[in-house]
Amino acid sequence: MKWRVRVNNMYFLRWEDGGLAPVFMINDSLGKLKEASVFGDYHMAKHVAGHVGGVVERVEEGLIE
């Protein structure tokens, strides 16, 4: 299974500034969600979600848009 981290209507993209600043993207157009980080490990996704105040969402098989 694969996982994404969502905070309200934004998805986690990456860390910047040496891991101090999370960068998010908004899924506001077709295919945009492909840019969001996809985690292969639930525990890593949960760890990131804990740091950014988000929730972990499962990515449906074949739907890594």
User: How far is residue 57's CA from residue 19's CA, in Å, rounded to a whole number?
Assistant: 22
Instruction: Report residue 6's pLDDT band, with 50, 70 and 90 as the boundaries.
Output: very high
The reported pTM is: 0.88
What is the spatial distance between Cα 64 and Cα 54, in angstroms, rounded to a whole number?
19
Gyration radius of the chain's alpha carbons: 11
Of the chain, the percentage scoring pLDDT greater than 70 comes to 94
**Distance, CA of 50 to CA of 65 (rounded, Å):** 24
Report, as an integer, the average pLDDT of 35-40: 95
